[in-house]
Amino acid sequence: MDGTIRSSIKKGLKVSIVLKKDQRSGKLTEGVVKDILTSSPEHSRGIKVRLESGEIGRVKEISG
């Protein structure tokens, strides 16, 4: 699944995101989507989401 398309991301979905502080290293953080923050239908670097843990980042992988 592609993290750059907003319609493929739903609340409650398990995803891997890259946090702002981890953009250089590419380290991924797993969690469950609480809010979708990007309003446009697509974003080349990934849709920005807030996880239930409160962390904010761009979706790189969708687990399911």
pLDDT tens, residue by residue, 19-62? 999 999 999 999 999 999 999 999 999 999 999 999 999 999 99
pLDDT digits (tens, 9 = 90+) for 11-21: 999 999 999 99
Q: Which pLDDT score, from 0 to 100, does residue 3 have?
A: 93
Please give the backbone phi and psi of residue 20, each rounded to the nearest 5 degrees, phi first.
-55, -45
Dump the DSSP string for 6-46: GGG--TT-EEEEEEGGGTTTT-EEEEEEEEE---SSB-TT-
Q: Which pLDDT score, from 0 to 100, does residue 48 have?
A: 98
Radius of gyration of the chain (CA): 10
Q: Which amino acid is at 18?
A: V
Nearest-angstrom CA–CA distance, 35 and 20: 17
Out of 2.60.40, 3.10.450, 1.10.10, 2.30.30, the CATH code matching 6-62 is 2.30.30
Position 64 pLDDT exceeds 80: no
Position 7 pLDDT exceeds 80: yes
For the chain, give every domain's residue range. 6-62
Angle at 3 between CA 23 and CA 64, to 5 degrees: 115
Q: Which pLDDT score, from 0 to 100, does residue 1 have?
A: 73
